[in-house]
Structures are given as structure tokens and as C-alpha cells.
Structure 1
């Protein structure tokens, strides 16, 4: 299930995927949907070098491919996971800043308009991040 890796070996790639599965399925993970998606193998795990512009471009392309193949009419759920094994955050605040930086980079590279069904204001209760919306979905 894992792809887009620039990890050195297939063993490293498999370990990342197995660690993620163990985290969701064998620890006290609170999300029932995540457990279901992993049990049914309905996830797309993608590995990226770092939280930077080069990885963001690859991530955006992978998200576009994922959205294109997703069946929005189906009741079958899937999840897209982006893993950055070379990025280490020293605190929750550092993670939050890194996440918002990545989202801004993705937005800057996105060639589609913001989904009009949601707000682009992070302070709005109707905020939702929008990527690759082309009104055909």
C-alpha cells in the first residue's frame, strides 16, 4: 500500500507501513473509522522525504491522483496518509507550525479555486482546507 518513497530500502518502507498499522490497529486508537479502513486495507500510505516544497509538489500530485480515482458515489471509505519520516518536531507547537506551512505550500501550488462550499478563513467555523476542487466532484 505504501508508495512514492525515496526511502533507501523496501524494508524501511514496509516498516513504516507496519508501524502505522500497529499504531491504529493494536494500540488504543480512538477512531473506529481508521481501524475499519486499515482492517479492510482501504488506505493509501505515501512516504515523502520532508515537509518542504519538493515533497509538497509530489504530495499535491499524489492527492490529485487519489481524488481522481476515489469513488464519491460509493459507501466504501478510503484514507490517504502522508508520512514524512525525515521530519522531526520537538513540540506540538512546532508540529502545528510545520503543518500550516505545508498547507500553505500546497495551497500556493494548487491550480484550482477554493471550494465555494467551505470557508477559506481558518478562524471560521465553516473552514475546511481545499485542494484540487474542480466542481466535477
Structure 2
């Protein structure tokens, strides 16, 4: 049976096969300083996740996230990230993409619940809380959605993709002041490349995280289409 390290080695090999992810992260229109640093240092794991329209067909992504979480060292540098890149498909509206993004996250969580895997103690299970982030395999993630129909260039990728960044790594960076420095560089780059800072993005852990995932601008009345499930016992 493949170990976590074997799975991650395979994912790194796949990342070399698909240069579209590499080119996008390196491009001027993608402002995230942490992701750029991780890519430059070989710390981006890319998973080919199949059809975006089939959120229940998630075995590859579920196993990859489990392996990623098992090998994640919160205190280590450089920052690490996992990108789930889905097959190319016709362009969706931002609302359509958002609906499927949450369907994927719900399906991953439901799989955890059926297996009796609990939620991380570091985040809330309530998607309306500023302390919420999605959990898979017991690891909490802030998710960034990318797709061809995104209105903002920073989120406009040639195919659907979900970027999983460790919540606990963000917290470690914030605790020692590195997060604030990365945030300033990222926002300065977005201002230059995109003309403005995404109004949906806020300081980490200071506003609700869930509305930021898809990149679509939503109002105060937006309700997150996610339901927490109690893990199965026994």
C-alpha cells in the first residue's frame, strides 16, 4: 500500500507534467506571495482531481489531502500548499462555480464523518464564524477557488482548481509576524496587477473565511451551503 510520502512523490511528478499551474502561479496576475515562494522552493503539490462536475468522485483528492496533512510540519519553512486541478470544461458562472466548490468540500467532509474522523480543534465548525475553515483528514484548510469564469484576474485560471492552504501554517506565520509581511506583498501585487484589492478578502481570522473561498463578491446575506456532520462513532 502506498505511503503518504509515495503519494506526495507521485503528485510532484504530476505537477511537472502540467505546466499550466506553474505558469499561472508565476504570472504577474496571481499575487499570492506565499504560493509563489512555495512554488519556487518546490513545496506546491499538484493533484489531478478529475471532473469538477462530479464532487462525489473524490477518491484521488481525498487521499492526497490525507497524505498532505500527515506530512505537514506547521513550524517548518517554506510554506506548503496543495492544488487540486480539475479537468478542463466549459466556463461556468461565478455562482455555478461556487455551488460546485462547496459541493466538493461537503463531499470531502461527509467522507470524513462516515469514517469517524473529527474536526480540527483549531477551527470552528460554523461556516458563519471568523474561526471557521474546512477540515479534511483532521487538518484545517483555507481554500482558494480558481476558474475560467472568475471576474478577477487573480482567480482566473484556465480550468477549475482548488488551492488548499493550511490554516495552522497561517496561524504560525501570523504569530511570528511573517503573515503580515506576506499579506502586504500580496496586496501590493494585486493592486498593481488587478487595479484593486479583492473586497471579499479580509485579514486572516478577523472576518468570516467561507465567503472568501470562491472569489465571488457576495453580500452580507450570503449563506454558506455547508453542513457540519457529527463523526460516526464506533
TM-score, length basis structure 2: 0.48
The separation in 1 between residues aligned to 2:129 and 2:71, in whole angstroms, is 30
Aligned ranges 1:17-36 → 2 under 5 Å = 17-36=18-37
User: Which one of 98, 105, 112 corresponds to residue 96 of structure 1?
Assistant: 98
The separation in 2 between residues aligned to 1:67 and 1:86, in whole angstroms, is 27
Contact 2:37 2:78 in 1 (8 A): no
| Greater than 6 Å deviation, 4+ residue runs | none
TM-score, length basis structure 1: 0.79
Count of residues in correspondence between the two structures: 124
The separation in 1 between residues aligned to 2:133 and 2:90, in whole angstroms, is 26
Contact 2:120 2:135 in 1 (8 A): yes
Q: Give 3-state SS (helix, strand or coil) of 2:35's partner.
A: helix
Partner of 2:42: 41
Question: Are 1:76 and 2:78 matched, yes or no?
Answer: yes
Deviation for aligned residue 1:85:
1.5
User: Which one of 123, 126, 133 corresponds to residue 131 of structure 2?
Assistant: 126
Contact 1:48 1:59 in 2 (8 A): yes
Deviation for aligned residue 1:67:
1.2
Structure 1: 5+ residue runs without aligned partners?
5-12
Q: Give 3-state SS (helix, strand or coil) of 1:44's partner.
A: strand
Structure 1 vs Structure 2 CA RMSD: 2.2
Structure 2: 5+ residue runs without aligned partners?
1-11, 140-167, 169-234
The separation in 2 between residues aligned to 1:27 and 1:21, in whole angstroms, is 12
The separation in 1 between residues aligned to 2:88 and 2:27, in whole angstroms, is 24
The separation in 1 between residues aligned to 2:48 and 2:13, in whole angstroms, is 7
Change (3 A) 1:63 1:90: same
Partner of 2:14: 3
